Structure 1
Amino acid sequence: MTTDTSIAALIDHTLLRPDATPDQIAALCDQARAHGFKSVCVTAIHVPYCAAALRGTQVLTCTVVGFPLGASPTCVKVLETEWAIAHGAREIDMVLSVGDLIAGNHDTVRDDIAAVKKACGDHCLKVIFETCLLTPAQIETACRLSVEAGADFVKTSTGFSSGGATIDAVALMARTVGPDIGVKASGGIATRSDALAMIAAGATRIGASKSIAITTI
C-alpha cells in the first residue's frame, strides 16, 4: 500500500478531541511527516509541541480559535490567535459568530473575522461556518463577509455540531468565494471516496482524522 500524495497534500490531519493525550499528538505529528499531510490541526495547548516536532518539515501547525461555538468575544479570539502564532501556529481556523450571522448582524461578523485576520498577519486564516446550522442564503452571506474581511479560506464545519461537510455546501461555498479563496471541507470525511467527492465539488483542503485511510491506495 502507498500514499496518494496528491490528496495527502490537501489534508489537515486533525485531532481536536478534548481527551487527546500528548502521546496521541506525538503520533499525529509522526503520521503527518510520514504521509506528507499539509498540516496537523490541534487545539492551542498542543501548538508548541507540534511546532517543535514539525520544525524543518513541510508540515504546518494549525490550530482552532473560538472553537467550537464561535461565541467568544472578538478580543478573546484575537488573543488566542496571537498566542498561537507566537508559539508556532502557521494556520488559524476560527469559528465565526454563528448567532450573529443568523441574526443578520453582518457588521459584527465581518469585524470579528477582520480582527482575527489582522492578528494572523501573513498567516493563513480559515473561517468555519458550521454550515449544518445555516440556510444556503446564510452560507452565501458568510462567504461574502469572510472574503470582505480578508479570509484566506472558508470552512464548512467544526465536526462538533449536528452535521459535517456536504457536497452541496462545499459546491455553494466554492461558487460564492470564487477561485482566489480556498474551501476547506471538514466533518465526517472518512474515506477516499468522501474526499474525492468533496474535491470534485470544489474543496481545496480537507480536514480529517481518518487521513491515513483516505490517502492509502
Structure 2
Amino acid sequence: MEGIITVYPFLNISYRVHREIMMKNLINIAILGAIGGFIGVLFNLWLGNPSRFNIPLDLLVASLLGAGASLIFVFLIANTDRSDTARLLTLALLGGFAWQPVWEGSLNAVNKSVEQNNVIQAEDAIKDAQKTASKIPIANTGKQSALAKEVNTKIEQAYSSIQKIDSLETRMELKEATDDLTEKINGLPPEAIADSKIQENAQRLAQQVAPGSSDFSSLQ
C-alpha cells in the first residue's frame, strides 16, 4: 500500500506532463497549419490567380481552414510519430498549405463511411427478406400473405438504403445479394404471392445495383 502511495504522485506528474506536451503540440500544429494556409494564399496570388473574396478575408479564411487541416493531416491522415517533432511540425505546415485537398479527402472519407453503412443496412434487409421468403412455400395459406408483406417491407428497407448510395461501384457490392433474392422470389409458388407484387419489387431492387440503371421510382 505504501509503495502505491509513493508511486502515485509520480504517475500523476507524468500524466500532467504528457498532457501539457500534447496540448503544446496541438497548439503548435494549429499555428503552423494557419501559417501554411496563409502562405498558400500568398503563393496563389504570386501565381497570378485571383482572390476568392478579397485578400484580407482570403488570408483569414485560409488560416483557419489551414489550422484545422493541419490537425486532420497530422493525426488522421499521416498518423505521424508524436515523438518526431520536426516531422510533426513540417507535416502541419504542409497540411495547412494544402488545406483544400485535405478537407476534401476527409469529407470523401466520411461519405464513403456513410455509404458503407448503407450497404450493410441494405444487405441485412435483403438477407432478412430471403429468410422470410423461404418460409412462404411451407406456410399455410393464411400466413403466406403476411409473410409476403413482410418480404415487401424488407425490400423497401433495402431499396431505401440503396438509394442513399451515390456510387454505382458501391451499389454493385449488393448485386449478388439482390440477384439471389430475385431468384428466390421467382421460385416461389405463384399462388402464394399472387397479389403481393414482391416479384416486381425484387426486380426493381435488383435494377438499383445494375450498371446503367436509371430506375429511381418508388416501390409499388
Q: Which TM-score band applies after superposition, normalised by the shorter structure?
A: under 0.3
Higher fraction of strand:
1
Q: Which one has the largest radius of gyration?
A: 2
Higher fraction of helix:
2
TM-score by length of 1: 0.23
Quick one: higher RCO (CA 8 Å, sep 6+), 1 or 2? 1
TM-score by length of 2: 0.23
